[in-house]
Amino acid sequence: METEFVRWTEDGTEHSAVWRSTSGAAPPKKIRVADDSMTADEAYRLACEGTALLWRGDFHNARQLGTAVAARTDRKARKTSTDPATAFHLHRQTQSRRAGILGMLLVPFDADQTVPLRRAPDVRQAVLAAYGPTDQPTVTTLRDLLGAIGAHEWQKKGVEIPALGARIHPGYGVFSPIRGEYVDLVADTPLPSLATAFDIGTGTGVLAAVLAHRGVEKVIATELDANALACARANLDRLDYAGRVQVVETDLFPDGRAPLVVCNPPWIPARPTSPIEYAIYDPDSRMLRGFLAGLAEHLEPGGEGWLILSDIAEHLGLRTREELLTLIDDAGLTVLGRRDVAPRHGKAADRSDALHAARKREVTSLWRLGAQD
């Protein structure tokens, strides 16, 4: 990837630094140096006009300013619709606009990746995990930096997985398994075999670990994302399952067949706007379609494919149940059974959430699929 630079004038002198963005956003063209004298109203106005603010004041004041700008962004009148699909797309537009405005508050880094601001924390390990090594001065958004700090804390603390009796530690950019209902489905559904299983798109490796914990002798877990590959391997090493779980870099299926093939694809057929959203949003249901289309040829005779999928896309008007069943049938598959569970996450009961109407009806299912005779 070609290195991009951000350029600005400060005290009459031209400056530049390496631009870093986890979302792939282009460097801002207009930059103004700002400090603790900047008001939230002025910062919001400048951000809306497309002027980025390179912060030179107190770090904690920058965080407070970002919170104040976010509050002003959220107070803007939201367009609404009674049509679920339209409401979802309006919600995504609102999220995109919010991210764009908050992305106008910039933070500098020295060549050693320390933040040269008063009361700034030591973020070098979090930045290294998010962006990789560098020996040059850099600039990123405060929003990206706070995301990197939060992700690093998750990675250190980990997520307790009752089905494992242990913690899974999500790496930067790898979706955290905080929605335990889909893990519980895999932990509780009767296994067709203890010989071999494939875990397609393993992410943190949590489902591969659950299968190994249940006694599956050999698990092959696949991934394409470099962060997820490293994360899954680290988790499986930590849990002492590396001897039974092989993590393979490939798109969807490994070579061969298995009596059990498990996949938890992204649930919403829409375009992601950041790397971590690829665990949630799947343009045109690419991964879902690919898994279903290739499943039959990777199942041993009498084997089962477990598709773990929320039906929230149906409640958002983005996919119908009939379309899903058609994809299953067209792939030469038949439904052997289905287990359902209601979500337990906080947003399901949050009436202020823009997608509450869909979330309160959401069901997560484990579809047991077999090859047609």
DSSP string, 97-114: HHHHHHTTEEEEE-TTS-
Q: Is the pLDDT of residue 348 over 60?
A: no
Q: Are 168 and 206 in contact (CB under 8 A)?
A: yes
Residue-wise pLDDT tens digits, 222-252: 999 999 999 999 999 999 999 999 999 999 9
| Mean per-residue pLDDT over the chain, rounded | 92
Q: Is the pLDDT of residue 350 over 80?
A: no
CB atoms under 10 Å from CB of 153, counted, come to 10
Which residues lie across from 5 on neighbouring strands? 18
My answer on whether 141 and 277 are in the same domain is no
> In a 10 Å sphere around its CB, with 0-12 CB exposed, 13-18 middle and 19+ buried, how is residue 38 labelled?
buried
Domain boundary among 121, 154, 187: 154
Band the pLDDT of 145: cuts 50, 70, 90.
Answer: very high
Domain boundary among 110, 129, 154: 154
My answer on whether 126 and 240 are in the same domain is no
Q: Find the mean pLDDT for residues 117-132.
A: 93
Q: Are 176 and 154 in contact (CB under 8 A)?
A: yes
My answer on whether 148 and 181 are in the same domain is no
My answer on whether 179 and 69 are in the same domain is no
My answer on whether 209 and 261 are in the same domain is yes
My answer on whether 141 and 209 are in the same domain is no
Number of domains present in the structure of the chain:
2
Band the pLDDT of 94: cuts 50, 70, 90.
Answer: confident
Residue-level pLDDT at 22: 82
Q: In terms of pLDDT, which residue wins out, 273 or 93?
A: 93
Q: For residues 333 and 335, give the distance between their C-alpha atoms in angstroms, rounded to a whole number.
A: 7
Rounded to 5 degrees, φ, ψ at 329 are -65, -45
Q: Find the mean pLDDT for residues 314-333.
A: 95
Task: Tell which residue, 333, 341, 323, has the closest CA to residue 369.
Answer: 333
Q: Record the pTM.
A: 0.89
Q: In terms of pLDDT, which residue wins out, 347 or 323?
A: 323
Q: Find the mean pLDDT for residues 120-141.
A: 93
CATH number of 287's domain: 3.40.50.150
Band the pLDDT of 211: cuts 50, 70, 90.
Answer: very high
What is the H or E stretch that residue 288 is in?
helix 286-295
Sequence-ordered list of residues with C-beta below 8 angstroms from that of 358, at least 6 positions apart, any chain: 84, 88, 312, 315, 316
Domain boundary among 133, 154, 175: 154
Residue-level pLDDT at 161: 95
Distances (CA, A) of 185 to 137, 191, 264, 304, 309: 47, 11, 11, 15, 11
Residue-level pLDDT at 358: 74
Residue-wise pLDDT tens digits, 150-168: 989 989 999 999 999 999 9
My answer on whether 144 and 233 are in the same domain is no
Residue-level pLDDT at 74: 86
My answer on whether 144 and 252 are in the same domain is no
Tokens representing 236?
A: 């499986």
Q: Find the mean pLDDT for residues 7-24.
A: 92
My answer on whether 307 and 345 are in the same domain is yes
Rounded to 5 degrees, φ, ψ at 358 are -80, -40
My answer on whether 139 and 256 are in the same domain is no
Q: Is the pLDDT of residue 345 over 70?
A: no
Q: Are 46 and 104 in contact (CB under 8 A)?
A: yes
> How crowded is the C-beta side of 268, counted as CA atoms within 13 Å?
20
Q: Find the mean pLDDT for residues 130-145.
A: 94
Q: Which domain holds residue 59?
A: 5-154
My answer on whether 100 and 199 are in the same domain is no
My answer on whether 34 and 79 are in the same domain is yes
> How crowded is the C-beta side of 36, counted as CA atoms within 13 Å?
8
